[in-house]
Structure 1
Amino acid sequence: MAMTTYEVWVSGVIPEQDLRDLGAVTLATERASTVLYGDIADQAALFGLLARLRALGLEVIEVRQVPAPEPPPGEPATSTGRHT
């Protein structure tokens, strides 16, 4: 199944335990915001993630689809264009 990479900006800093509970996402903290990056299977999974963030009391500022990262030189790409 092809995955789509999304960037989700939320206001404030997400507690570490809540980040672990969110699953397969990485983050970057910039000022008083947190940016989550992750591969989302489909629209239902994206809405599920947004509902979990809302349940944590976090304000979602922005959601955008971002280009998939390119595999390093010499490493074969998978069918989704991602490296494994």
Structure 2
Amino acid sequence: MPDEALPARYTIRVRGVLSETLRMAFPELDAESRGEDSVLVGVLRDQAALYGVLAQLEGLGIALIDVSSDPCPKGTER
């Protein structure tokens, strides 16, 4: 299976503090405020799932600051 098809743990930093309603738009990710920004963290099954989250952020008008990922050790993905 190609690397891009493996689950990975993503950290997505966005501009602004997300309201509880906006946090609920991303049930697969944990969200927390860090200063004036918010961070969404969680395991996504593949890059297609990541692109879906990024498209959702764009559709909601949420400014993306940074995305980083770490591969999930085998057997630890949700």
Asked if Structure 1 and Structure 2 have the same fold, meaning a TM-score greater than 0.5 normalized by the shorter chain, the answer is yes
Secondary structure class of the residue paired with 2:17: coil
Per the TM alignment, residue 44 of structure 1 is displaced from its structure 2 partner at its CA by: 0.8
Secondary structure class of the residue paired with 1:66: strand
Per the TM alignment, residue 28 of structure 1 is displaced from its structure 2 partner at its CA by: 2.2
1:1-84 equivalences in 2 (<5 Å): 2-66=6-70, 68=72, 80-82=74-76
Tell me, yes or no, if the aligned pair for 1:9 and 1:35 is still in contact at 8 Å: yes
Using structure 2 for the length normalisation, give the TM-score.
0.80
Using structure 1 for the length normalisation, give the TM-score.
0.75
Point out where structure 2 has 5 or more consecutive residues left out of the alignment.
none
Secondary structure class of the residue paired with 2:62: coil
CA RMSD of aligned residues (A): 2.2
Point out where structure 1 has 5 or more consecutive residues left out of the alignment.
69-78
Decide which structure has the larger Cα Rg and report it.
1
* Equivalent AA in structure 1 for residue 67 of structure 2: V
State the percentage of identical aligned residues.
31
Give the ranges of 4+ consecutive aligned residues of structure 1 lying more than 3 Å apart after TM superposition: none
Q: How many residues align?
A: 74
